[in-house]
Structures are given as structure tokens and as C-alpha cells.
Amino acid sequence: MNQAKSQRIVVMTGVTAGLGLHALQKIAAQPGTRVIVGARGSGRAVPPGVEVIPLDLASLASVRQFSEAVTSRLESGRIDILVLNAGMQASTNEGRSVEGYELTFAVNHLAHYLLARLLLSQMADQGRLVITTSETHDPAVTPIAPKALDPQALAHPDKSGFGMGIRAYAASKLCNLLTAQSFAAMEEVRARKLAVIAFSPGLTGGTSLGRDSPRAMRAVVMLLMHTVFRVVGLFRPEYVIGTPERSGEALAEIALGAVIPPPGRIYVSLVKGKPTFPDPSQLARSREAREQLWRESAVMVGFDDQAPTQ
Ligand SMILES: NC(=O)c1ccc[n+]([C@@H]2O[C@H](COP(=O)([O-])OP(=O)(O)OC[C@H]3O[C@@H](n4cnc5c(N)ncnc54)[C@H](OP(=O)(O)O)[C@@H]3O)[C@@H](O)[C@H]2O)c1
């Protein structure tokens, strides 16, 4: 990091469970590193010295409060690394955020979009923004991936029923990738040499993603992971199931700059525990789609500037 200062400042979401918790442990153990995390609830078990600020991504008001609290704690400091890793997956698309948006879209995409926009000005030059996405965004990997983008339909779905929860999840992860592309294309981001990375940890067992799904649904997913995916994984490496330890370690490596995508690339996909740099889906690379998502998300979070990012 380019600032003449002794301390590296890292802000993270989604580090109270799953792979994020492992990433947090690695990052917090780095010398000279101050870590501020956003988390729901109280009494979170985080490594000693890590600062916890309340954040519920299901509420845009909470995102704004978190951003203000982080900014006031920074004083003259700047954020070197911003890691937006929190995520949820539900069995339906019937949940709603405080502001009335479909919950998966709101938590995984809209809240992080708002948070990254609010904190961008607080980031250090040559800082790093990492957004956790998923290979489920890609129709070449899974049939549940979105083949078109309609932010309004994602925010206010008029269809529900079997399979809509996982489809909402896959679409929200496409939104994470499109948002990363938008930030990477911003003039300000280029001028300040900020690195933007969309990280797909790959199928990772043993996390609590989908924990709110009905017990029967979770049992089916476990069964799939231990049977079908193991066989499919013999032919399709992206179906090989990783561990939260390795996925979290990879997230930490990316956040800390130990793994850097080749020039011009922002997508890192962990396959069999190794970082790879494939093209994301065709839709994820669409300038039209990313600009549409940016504009419509701006309206949804209450920004009156709806200008495209470049
Ligand atoms: N597991 C996989 O196979 C897989 C594959 C591809 C991508 N991913 C992505 O990896 C990331 C981490 O997933 P994981 O598998 O480690 O899941 P996890 O164990 O369920 O962890 C999710 C994290 O997000 C936080 N979170 C969820 N909803 C939140 C909210 N409303 N407000 C604040 N924080 C919230 C959780 O906090 P609480 O402790 O408060 O719930 C937790 O810290 C997600 O973005 C996920 O989409 C996972």
C-alpha cells in the first residue's frame, strides 16, 4: 500500500461464519493490520483486536450507518482493503428486505453496491476492493444461472415457487460480478489505481450458506454434495467441493495481494483449491448489463446520480 503509515486498514463483511471467518483469521494475523468488520447480532467471536460494527445487510439504513461509523473511526486513515464477502441463500424468493426488495438480491447485491459506493472515497490509492461472487452466475457451469438481466424483476419478483431461491442467489452473484466490472471501469478507480477483484470460492462444503432453508432441502443439498457432485467433479473440476479453510485462505491471499489476476482481468475462480482466471459468463461481461444494473441499483438505494460509470 502506498500510504506512508504503519497500519494497513481492512474492512470486511461476512466474516462471522463460513469461509469469511477463515479469511478474517488470516488477515487479522498479519502484522500492522487493523481490521474492522460489519456483523449482525452481538457477541461475535472474532480474533482479538478486530473491531466489530453492527451491520445488517437486509437494511439499507444499516448499511449507511455502518459506512458512517467506519468513516468516523478512520479519522485521517484510509481503507486499504475492502472485502465484501457476506452472502445468503434461501430456499424461496419470498423474503423481503427492510426496504421491500427481494431479500437475496438486497443482501448479496444491493447492500454491497451501496456500501462500496459509500466507502469508495474512503479508500486509499492503490487499495483493493474484493467482492465475493460465485460460479453459479455462469450458465456454462450451471443451468440455474441467469441468461438475462432484469434488475426490477430481481428486486420485485412476480414468480415464486420451487427453485426460485437458488435462482435468486445465482442472479445476485451475477450482480456482484457486474458491480465489480462497473467499479473496475470507473475513471476514479483507474486514476487512483484501485484493484477490483470478483472472487468465486467455488463449491465450498461445511459453511452455513443456506442455513435458513428447510431441513429437508438442506438434507438434499448435503446428499447432492456427497454423491452426485463427487461423481460430476471427476469430469467437471468446478464441481469439486472445497473446504472453508482453503476458500477462506484464498480469499485472504487475494485481499492481501498475494494472488493478483493478470492485467485486464478481474475474475478469480477457485478450482480444486487453485486460483484460476477464466472469463466470467458472457452476460457478466456485457457493458450494457452492468450499466443498467448500476443505474437501476442507484435508484433503488436512493442516489439521484444515475450516471453510467464511465
Ligand atoms: N459455500 C459455497 O459453496 C459458496 C460458493 C460460491 C460462493 N460463495 C459465497 O461465499 C460467501 C460466503 O459464503 P459462506 O458459504 O461462507 O456462507 P456462510 O457460512 O453462511 O457465511 C455468510 C456470512 O455472511 C453474513 N451475512 C449473511 N447475511 C447477512 C446480513 N443480512 N447482514 C450481515 N451479514 C450477513 C453471515 O453473517 P451471520 O453470521 O450473521 O449469519 C456470515 O458471516 C458468500 O458471498 C457466498 O455467496 C459460497
Residues 135-158 as b/e (b if ≥16 CB within 10 A, e otherwise) read bbbbbebbeebbeebebeebbebe
What is the CA(107)–ligand 1 centre distance, in A?
10
**Please, are residues 23 and 199 in contact by the beta-carbon 8 Å criterion?**
no
**Interval 188-239: pLDDT, tens:** 999 999 999 999 999 999 898 878 778 887 787 778 777 877 777 787 888 8
Looking at residue 236, its pLDDT comes to: 85
Q: Where does the pLDDT of residue 81 fall: very low under 50, low under 70, confident under 90, or very high at 90 and above?
A: very high
Q: Round to whole Å and give the CA distance between 239 and 126.
A: 34
Residue ranges covered by each domain of the chain: 8-210+241-301
Q: Looking at the CA of residue 86, tell me the nearest atom of ligand 1.
A: 24
Q: What pLDDT is attached to residue 3?
A: 46
Q: Does ligand 1 have an atom closer than 6 angstroms to the CB of 87?
A: yes
pLDDT in tens, 93-137: 999 999 999 999 999 999 999 999 999 999 999 999 999 999 999
Q: What pTM does this model have?
A: 0.94
- The CB of 134 under 6 Å from ligand 1? The reply is yes
Is the pLDDT at 1 greater than 60? The verdict is no
The pLDDT > 90 percentage for the chain reads 80
Residue 59 alpha carbon, nearest atom of ligand 1: 31
The average pLDDT across 138-152 equals: 96
What pLDDT does 308 receive?
52
CB 142 within 8 Å of CB 136: yes
For residue 61, what pLDDT is reported?
98
Query: Per residue in 95-126, is it b (16+ CB within 10 Å) or e — as a string?
Result: bebebebbbbbbbbbbbbbbbbbbbbebbbee
**Which one is predicted more confidently, 151 or 212?**
151
Any ligand 1 atom below 6 A from CB of 107: yes
Tell me which residue has cell 477483484. Answer: 197
In this prediction, residues 255-265 reach a mean pLDDT of 97
Task: Indicate whether 23 pLDDT > 60.
Answer: yes
pLDDT surpasses 70 at 87:
yes
Cα 21 to averaged position of ligand 1 atoms, centre (Å): 10
pLDDT at 306: 60
Residue nearest to atom 45 of ligand 1 (CA): 87
Per residue in 167-188, pLDDT (tens digit) is 999 999 999 999 999 999 999 9
- DSSP track, 265-285: --EEEEETTEEE-----TGGG
155 lines ligand 1 (CB under 6 A): no
pLDDT, average across residues 281-285:
98
253 pLDDT more than 90: yes
Q: How far is the CA of 244 from the centre of ligand 1 (A)?
A: 11
Helices (H), 44-194: 60-74, 103-104, 111-119, 151-155, 164-185, 187-191
- The three cell numbers of residue 258 are 498475494
- Pocket of ligand 1 contains residue 17 by CB under 6 Å: yes
Which residue, judged by its Cα, is nearest atom 29 of ligand 1? Answer: 57
H/E stretch holding 198: strand 195-200
Count the Cβ atoms, other than its own, within 10 Å of residue 25: 17
The pLDDT mean for the chain works out to 93
The CATH-assigned architecture of domain 8-210+241-301 is 3-Layer(aba) Sandwich (3.40)
What is the number of the ligand 1 atom nearest to the C-alpha of 176? 45
pLDDT confidence of residue 258: 98
3-state secondary structure of 54: strand
What's the confidence (pLDDT) of residue 309?
53
Contact assessment for residue 85 and residue 44, using Cβ atoms and an 8 Å cutoff: no
Return the pLDDT at 47.
Answer: 92
Q: Which residue has its alpha carbon closest to ligand 1 atom 40? A: 40
Distance 310 CA to ligand 1 centre (A): 31
* Cβ(242) – ligand 1 distance below 6 Å: no
Question: Looking at the predicted structure, is the pLDDT value of residue 240 above 90?
Answer: no
